[in-house]
Amino acid sequence: MEENKTTKKELPNLDIDEMQKAGLNFGHRISRLHPKMKPYIAGIKSTVHMIDLKKTAQDFDRALHFIASLVKDGKKILFVGTKVQMRQLTRETAEVCGMPYVVERWLGGTFTNFETLFKRVQYFKELENKKATGLLEKYTKKERMNFDKEIELLQKKFAGIKQMTQLPDVVIILDLKKDMTCVRESKRKGIPIIGIVDTNIDPTLADYLIPANDDSISSVSYILGKIKEAILSVK
């Protein structure tokens, strides 16, 4: 896919000082370094590897151009952020951008067995509609309670992908290690991966990597903020 299509507005500016303030440069302890991340290391501070933010800016800019070109072509991007502290931030960003998201545990087969998952989502939507239109009122109180519990469970699983009628065109994964099942399924289905890559991660897992701290809320918030800007700039 093309990465350098013109956009309505300028893409977000990536300022290294701002990235440093947000803590993007803090990696993991030196003992946890993935060998393939060595080219992205600028130095060591108190036994912690520091990420080279010049390289981060370069790779992140490439990812933002790719994202903008996708959105301009009407493609769908799935946001995946299942860490507890990142869930709300991921959900809010995806909703503002009008994109699907997964913030609870990744369900095995979401991509590789999408037809079955889609049927479950359709069933969830039908249940919601029946409740909203009063069609569940004909059941007993106990049966209605069971329906409510089922809707609550399905809501937790499928709320973010309720409108996803086909596989996404790309997936943004905030923690490649935690959501390795998503990584594997994306690879199997040929879905490009945009991923935050910390110093303990194999950078070759992502097609478009963002070398940065994937544990800090301020770091992930900065990254998601720039991605949101890029998406809204072409909408």
Structure tokens at 41: 């290391």
CATH 3.40.50.10490 range(s) for the chain read 16-111+167-232
Contact in structure between 73 and 133 (CB atoms under 8 Å): no
Candidates 70, 113, 168, 202; CA nearest to 160 is: 168
Q: Which residue carries 């594997």 as its tokens? A: 184
- 6 has a pLDDT exceeding 50: no
Q: Would you say domain 16-111+167-232 falls under CATH 3.40.50.10490?
A: yes
What confidence score (pLDDT) does residue 59 get?
A: 97
What confidence score (pLDDT) does residue 9 get?
Answer: 60
Q: Is the confidence at residue 205, as pLDDT, over 60?
A: yes
- How do residues 160-180 score in pLDDT, each as one tens digit? 999 999 999 999 999 999 999
Whether the Cβ atoms of residue 77 and residue 67 lie closer than 8 Å to each other: yes
**Residue 197 predicted with pLDDT over 90:** yes
In whole angstroms, give the CA distance from residue 163 to residue 131.
18
Specify the pLDDT at position 235.
Answer: 77
Q: What is the pLDDT of residues 42-73, one digit of tens each?
A: 999 999 999 999 999 999 999 999 999 999 99
Q: Which two tokens stand for residue 50?
A: 């520091």
The SS3 assignment for 141 reads helix
Looking at residue 12, what is its pLDDT?
85
Residue 8, pLDDT > 90, answer no
Q: What's the mean pLDDT when you consider all of the chain?
A: 93
CA triplet 126, 130, 135: central angle to 5 degrees?
145
Give the burial string for 53-63 (b: 16+ CB within 10 Å, else e). beebbebbbbb
CATH architecture of the domain formed by 114-160: Orthogonal Bundle (1.10)
Please say whether the beta carbons of 27 and 211 come within 8 A: no
Q: Is 4 exposed, middle or buried (0-12, 13-18, 19+ CB in 10 A)?
A: exposed
Read off the pLDDT of residues 102-135 as tens digits, 9 standing for 90 and up. Answer: 999 999 999 999 999 999 999 999 998 998 989 8
**CATH 1.10.287: which residues of the chain?**
114-160
In terms of pTM, does the model score above 0.75? yes
